[in-house]
Amino acid sequence: MNDHATDRNQLIDCDVHNFLGDLDELVPYLDLSWQKMMNIGKFKKDSVLNIGSFQFPHVRYSHASNPLRTDAITPSGDYPGTDPQFLVKDLFERYNTTYGILNVGHGSMSAYHNIDLTIAYSTACNEWMYDKWIKADPRYRMTMVCAPLDPKATISEMQRVAHRPEIVGLNLQNVNIPMGSRHFWDIYEAAEHYGLPIVLHPDTEGSGEYSPSQFIGPASTYMEWHTTLALVAQRQIASLVCEGVFEKFPKLKVIFIEYGFSWLPSVMWRMDKNWKALRESVPWLKKLPSEYIRSHIRLGTQPIEEPFKPADLISLIQMVKAEEMLLFCSDYPHWDGEFDERAFVHFPQELKRKIFYDNALESYRF
Amino acid sequence: METGRISAYKVEVCSTDQLKPSQRKLIEINGVEIAVMNVEGKLYAYRNACPHQGAPMVYGTVTGTMLPCKRGEYTYGHDQEIIRCPLHSWEFHLTTGKSLFDPCKVSIKKYEVTVEDDTVVIYFHKRPEKVSEKEVRYFV
């Protein structure tokens, strides 16, 4: 399948998903009290006794077919993304992947109503990812999960594990506090200190009690929900820029994975226009908003938009000088990723090299 | 062997007892992968590559789908007549290979498949120079 891959040697896949086969995999990393809270280990409830017990937060929209690729079921018949060795074979060896960055696939608990449990789960999840996945193959890298609603706990977790070189970003997750808000500033300061970019990926949108709204109320269907995820990123970028986060944290990078990117010209042009008229309300901004965006924001390529004329995507990227902003993502084993590189077949070689490797190397902590 | 069919060459896939309902085979002829499947006793054969990005259709889910209907209605139909791409979920009619979203322009290549003397055979449009069977890891 790799006919399209012959013109490059290195690839960083910025969105690979690993899944818990069973919540019990977390048992070694949680003490008895948290095991009881999550009904795992010896507290596991079966059958009718399960009523009212802990449930891991899930996106509530049902997919028309299957949100996980049915060609990626593991050799033992388990869920896609649950077997580190098979993932290497099925993804890395097909793509000739240099590094694959794991963003935990079964979800975070970042917008869950019990923040104490979120904190305990996050620590356990980071350990599980490190033990089961990072140690399984030298190509694995990971973003660490955290409790964005508790900045102190998030910073403590960074102090605990951020020194691990395989951790390349902080998987912050969207909650219902805009990202420019000072609520997050201590986290940004710590992230800057550790050289970790902030990474956003759909998960909490619609799954947790603290999930961000999509502005006009809930979507009715998976299609409506998935399509409008892009709005979350646009709204967050406006918040980050207007609140002056990139003036305050000049080395910080914020990476939006799986929100698409073809909406970028609209955000840049609209913000630039408004700044010319309304800069008095944000006097801490010293240059065009689009310049902050270009320097500090990175966007995953996936789900790649499919224009009527495929090559128009290149014009769009050139229009806003986004060549250094885009990061290749397979999104394996989710349903909405790219099967191979043919989505980029029209892209010039230099742009492909940036998207497939250089940009990720510059944006994550490598 | 050459047959009476126009530009069609017969290729034996397997005996019928090796392709029971819900089972699938993957055959490569002259470098072209063809998925052959038994859906509730009906046989289908089509190119093992979605026309979108080439994902392997042999791992596609066979299902039915919602028929076009009025706002507020859901009418399920085409049960076991639709195959969906394992990646982006594009839907195709098993009987025609045509996509549901644009049947005139987008389809998967179909091959004639039948049973002759307890053997599943497909008809290929070129002389089969090289034929091999490939592994199907599981049946969706």
- The interface predicted TM-score (ipTM) is 0.78
Per-window interface: A 323-362 vs B, CB < 8 A: 335-340, 342-343
The mean pLDDT of A123-144, rounded to a whole number, is 98
Strands A254-256 and A198-200: parallel
Per-residue pLDDT band at A4 (split at 50, 70, 90): very low
CATH class label, B9-134: mainly beta
Q: What pLDDT, in 10s, does the model give residues A276-314?
A: 999 999 999 999 999 999 999 999 999 999 999 999 999
Contact B23, B137 (CB under 8 A): no
The mean pLDDT of A31-43, rounded to a whole number, is 93
* pLDDT: which is higher, A215 or B4: A215
Distance from CA of B66 to the nearest CA of A (A): 10
Strand partners, B116: B119
Residue in chain B lying closest to A220 (CA) = B72
Report the CATH number at residue A305. 3.20.20.140
Given a cut of 60, whether residue A1 has pLDDT beyond it is: no
In the sheet with A140-145, reading across from the earlier edge strand, the strands are A12-16, A99-102, A140-145, A167-171, A198-200, A254-256, A297-300, A326-327
Confidence (pLDDT) at B138:
86
Alpha-carbon distance of A184 to A72, in angstroms, equals: 37
Per-residue pLDDT band at A144 (split at 50, 70, 90): very high
Q: What pLDDT, in 10s, does the model give residues B116-136?
A: 999 999 999 999 999 999 999
Q: What pLDDT, in 10s, does the model give residues A187-203?
A: 999 999 999 999 999 99
Per-residue pLDDT band at A2 (split at 50, 70, 90): very low
Interface membership of A56 toward B (CB under 8 Å):
no
Confidence (pLDDT) at A125:
98
∠ Cα B77 B82 B86 (to 5°):
135
Q: What residues make up the domain containing A111? A: 2-363
Confidence (pLDDT) at A113:
96
Interface membership of A70 toward B (CB under 8 Å):
yes
Percentage of chain A with pLDDT > 70? 96
Count of the separate structural domains present in chain A: 1
Interface membership of B51 toward A (CB under 8 Å):
no
**In Å, what is the CA distance from A332 to each residue of A5, A120, A171, B59?**
17, 27, 17, 15
Per-residue pLDDT band at A64 (split at 50, 70, 90): confident
- Could you tell me the pTM of the whole model? 0.90
Count residue pairs from A and B with Cβ separation < 8 A.
47
Q: Which of A59-63, A188-192, A331-335 has the lowest mean pLDDT?
A: A59-63
Interface membership of A2 toward B (CB under 8 Å):
no
CB contact under 8 A, A71 and B86: yes
